[in-house]
Chains A and B, each alone.
Chain A
Amino acid sequence: MAEVVLHSGGLNPPLVEGPTSFARITDDVCRIVENKPPRAWYVAMGISVTLTLILGVALYLLFTRGIGVWGNNQPVAWAFDITNFVFWIGIGHAGTLISAILFLFRQRWRTSINRAAEAMTIFAVICAGMFPLIHVGRPWRAYWLFPIPNPYIDMWPNFRSPLIWDVFAVSTYFTVSLLFWYTGLIPDLATLRDRARTKLARWAYGLLSLGWRGSARHWSAYEKAYLLLAGLSTPLVISVHSIVSFDFAVSILPGWHATIFPPYFVAGAIFSGFAMVITLLVIARRVYNLQHLITLHHLDNMNKILLATSLIVGYSYAVEFFTAFFSGNPYERFVFTNRAVGPYAWAIWTMVFCNVVVPQLLWFRRFRRSVPWMFVIAILVNIGMWFERFNIIVTSLHRDFLPSSWGSFRPTVVDFMTLAGSFGLFLTLFLLFLRFLPAVAMAEVKAVLPDGRQEVRA
């Protein structure tokens, strides 16, 4: 059998490159947290915090003056707010996909990227969750969304509304993702605790690692919890974005009412999430010298998923366009013609170019393994996926059944400030994560090393 294994070396490329040992991996990951951060981190943090402050200003303007500071109007009652919401929820899909679904598919290469991707999931869901709250106009009353018996207001949520399903879907997703992320962190937090040089660090990591000692019993409980959470997260990855798609698809608005929306939104979410993971990890692996842990092989695999989801998204665009004409429904036909050649045609074609045309380069190994190329492609996908949501929302709303009630949408400065600010919040949280928590799942990477796998088998 040894001969066979040797022979198929090309089929199973090593998941960690270069001379590696368990100690080396611990060192490589822990030093990110233990040493003073590089200058690039401070620069990035400066920019992110500034953007977050801009978000604060935008929110202050919103809360003191009202929704009127945005470009939202009648008929375009949903615009940047819901676009940003769907965009960020989408970004939050890569982490759980990598951690849960790729885990169930036994994709061992996931181990060096899952931690950072899961962190992105949580931060993206935080950004996403903000938008429905602030777009209700009176965020201090957002708790009315929950079915809380209240003698003063005499209101009860409509359980047939997908907007209320969203509240539960997103908060469940956030809770389970957080638990999943934290469960995975525990052994690594214990490692940081054991290596801590200051009292404060020892105390903080000690508190967070819940008394982990790495005993066989601990590992057994840990593995069980991980598998269960993976099983629970898998339907959540699919349900969250399906329910987000219901927000649109249950209506009778042409361009929103399409039965393909649930799977199409899920694929789009994974697409955008992977693009964001690639964008940030390409930088992080370089700044922190993690190229031997997050190898070109990992990036290659992620680019393959990017290509696959790009094709699904492109297929969905095509099917929707086809059905608009096939259906014989004049309103459907109008909306799609209006998308292609109407006032927002530039946004549609930006979307098609970024999401469908450019990712075709990833058919070629050369592009999948070229860091500059994949960085450019991933950025374009991020842009394209933001525009996808913008197109779905704005182009369907601005011209519907009655030409007398048509309108258009122009974003205001506050709209752009909020969008930029949400990126600031996301990046700030991510940079704090890199600074204080182990960015690579050390224990899991060790388990996929040749030595680790032998130990597991023995």
Chain B
Amino acid sequence: MSGATTSLELSVAATACRLRPEQWQRVRIVLVALALFGWVTSAWGWSQDTQQFHASYLVSFLYVATIGLGATLFVAIQHLTTAAWSVTSRRLMESIMITVLAAPALFIPVIRGLDVLYRWAQPGFFDPDDPNVAFKRVFFSPTFYESRMVVYFVVWCVLAWLLYQGSVGQDRHGGSMAAVVKLRRWSGPGVAALFVTVTSAAVDWVMSLEPYWYSTVFGIYVFAGGAVAFVAAIIILALGLRALGYLREWIHVEHYHDWGKWLFALSVFWAYLAYSQYMLMWYANLPEETAWYQVRLNGSWRWVSLTLAAGHFGVPFLGLMARRAKRSLPWLGAIAGWMLLMHWVDLHWLVMPTVHEHGFHLHWLDLSTWLAVGATAALVGWWVMGRHPLVPAGDLRLAESLEHHNE
């Protein structure tokens, strides 16, 4: 590729950049084995402790779904802003994004266990004579709830599919301004729809675990956490492929530097939202709001809360502030891996106090459901990664992206 001077040669070099079939096959076998192991053990766990299964499963599902949705947001924003720097890593973003297609199927165990986890789903939970819960009674009625779920999944899958097809279409037919404009057109309304649906889903899936608690910023907080985890995931994915000998010239230190900036900026943004919510509730000290923090600041949950503040904010903030830190690939990889762990801690902290009020409690189902959901989603991403070049070969900005450097 270093010899490529014309767009044609560059495009040819990009098209040739594919996963080697035997390597693809090997990873696929590993993923299938992990998924099978995860599903079988989780199923057994479900028969043993239904409530624990559903809580663990919800965390795992959210983990995968938020990363996929973070990827969808990122891909759409790249098209919307006609970004050049990120073009060489966009196919990896798209591979993470496409795992969203698995979300509707992966959601089945969640909806099957609604009444186990969500108190509002238990019959007769809301007093029909209480005017203050009249809105919630309608909002959480099965029909309305289920139609919302359908809307979410349709919006996400259609958007991910359109963005994906528009990009791989350029591999085959070559890039054109028409394709650029088309992708940008989908991305504008796409980002808007994504914001509304994801934040609303966060209310339905996470906030409503505590049926009387509310916070207006909550949806954005969950989405921001997903965006952080997505950036961490793409860094890990790119570094993993690099270790296997792929993409070394395509995604170079200048690109990693920018991904490092994103990881830094988004984890600060996440902390900003977390702090806004916490400080305002602490300050106002209203019992209906502080109850949520009360559980999380007592017993061993207190330590999880502190870990989250230090690990989800302090570590990337101090660890990625220096330019040199963002440009050191082993260091960046270590922080990214740490942030993937922190995203899990964040979701665990959001969900688990519902079932383990008195303290942090790690269960083996946390791992097995994570393996089941994670490996299944990874299989979807890996599947499509094997079918296309690892860089968007037809993209008009390929050369510009390759030349990218931080002044």
Contacts and interface: CB of A to CB of B under 8 A. Distances in A.
Shortest Cβ-Cβ A-B pairs, 3 listed: A260-B216, A4-B7, A328-B132
Nearest to A318: B196
Given A7-B7, A11-B82, A242-B276, 4 more contacts: A4-B396, A259-B280, A259-B281, A328-B136
Contacts of B188: 363
B134 to A, nearest CB: 8
B277 interface: yes
15 contacts: A1-B6, A1-B10, A5-B400, A7-B7, A11-B82, A11-B84, A11-B396, A238-B272, A257-B280, A261-B216, A261-B276, A263-B272, A263-B273, A320-B216, A326-B203
Interface in A398-448: none
B132 to A, nearest CB: 4
Nearest to B11: A4
Interface string A371-391: 000000000000000000000
Interface stretch (B22-30, B153-161, B217-225, B383-391): B217-225
B314 to A, nearest CB: 16
Contacts of B285: 252
Contacts of B82: 11
Contact of B218 (A250, A257, A259): A259
Contacts, number: 104
Contacts of B286: 252, 257
Interface in B247-289: 272-273, 276-277, 279-281, 283-286, 288
Interface string B373-407: 00000000000000000000000111110010001
Contact of A327 (B214, B217, B219, B400): B214
A433 B52 CA distance: 66
B281 A328 contact: no
B5 interface: yes
Interface of A: 1, 3-5, 7-8, 10-11, 106, 238, 242, 246, 249-252, 257-263, 311, 315-316, 319-320, 323, 325-330, 363, 456
A252 B215 CA distance: 14
A141 B397 CA distance: 60
Main secondary structure of the interface of B (DSSP, over half): helix
Given A315-B195, A330-B132, A5 B272 contact: no
A216 B281 CA distance: 52
A250 B284 contact: yes
Contact of B216 (A10, A250, A258, A329): A258
Interface in B177-235: 177, 180, 188, 192, 195-196, 199, 203, 212, 214-220
Given A250-B280, A262-B276, A328-B212, A4 B196 contact: no
A353 to B, nearest CB: 19
Contacts of A260: 216-217, 220
B135 interface: yes
A8 B400 contact: yes
Contacts of A327: 214, 288
Nearest to B212: A328
Contacts of A252: 284-286
B133 interface: yes
B219 A4 contact: no
Contacts of B272: 238, 242, 262-263
B27 to A, nearest CB: 33
B205 to A, nearest CB: 15
Interface string B142-178: 0000000000000000000000000000000000010
Given A260-B217, A363-B188, A7 B396 contact: yes
A326 B136 contact: yes
A386 B396 CA distance: 43
Contacts of A263: 217, 220, 272-273, 276
B180 A11 contact: yes
Nearest to A238: B272
Contacts of A328: 132-133, 135-136, 212
